[in-house]
Chains A and B, each alone.
Chain A
C-alpha cells in the first residue's frame, strides 16, 4: 500500500482529503506544518508527499527546497497543492523542486492521475474506486 504524507494546516481540507485518499487504498500520514512535514518525511520515508504551500512555521516552498537538497529525502516525489492558481505560483513550486503541482479545489481524478504517474515507476498503485 503506497504511503502518502499530506502536509496541510487546514483541518477540514486535511480530514477530507486524507479520507478520500484512504478510500482509494492509500495509507495517509499527516503533518500540520512545514517543519513537522520535514521531520516526518525524514522519519517515515513516504512514497510521495502532498505539500500545501501556505503553511505555518515553515512554508511549503522552503520545506520542499530542504527535502530536495537532502540525500535521504530528495528522491521522494512532491506534489504542491495551493489555492493560489496563478502561473507564477506553478513556476515558483517547480523552482522549489516540486515534481508536480495542483490547485484547490481539488479535482480528485486529476490529482490521483498525478499521484499514480509519480508512483508508477516504483510500485503498483491502486486504481479507480477500490474501497477498503
Chain B
C-alpha cells in the first residue's frame, strides 16, 4: 500500500470492503461479459483462431472474480 500514490492509498484505506468489492466487480463484469459475447459471436461466424486467446482472458477474469469472492468477502 505504501508504494501507491498517496491519494489512491488513502482512498483505498478509507473505503469499506463492501464498496471496494463492488467497484472492482463492475469493470470486471464488463471485461468478462464482452469477452464471452465475442466468444459466442466468433463461434457462430467461424472465426475460431481468436477463440483460444479470448478463453485465456475469460479464465483470468473468472479467476480474479473467484479470488475476490473467496478472499475478500465477509458475511
Contact = CB atoms under 8 A, between A and B. Distances in A.
Interface in A80-127: 83-88, 103-106, 108
Interface residues of A, number: 22
B26 A10 contact: yes
A85 B25 contact: yes
A105 B18 contact: no
Contacts, number: 57
B13 interface: no
A106 B22 CA distance: 13
A105 B25 contact: yes
* Binding site secondary structure of chain B: helix
B22 A83 contact: yes
Contact of B34 (A16, A23, A86, A131): A16
Given A16-B33, A16-B34, A85 B73 contact: yes
Interface of B: 18, 21-22, 25-26, 28-30, 32-34, 36-37, 40, 44, 61-62, 65, 69, 73-75
Interface of A: 10, 12-13, 16-17, 19-20, 23, 54, 83-88, 103-106, 108, 129, 131
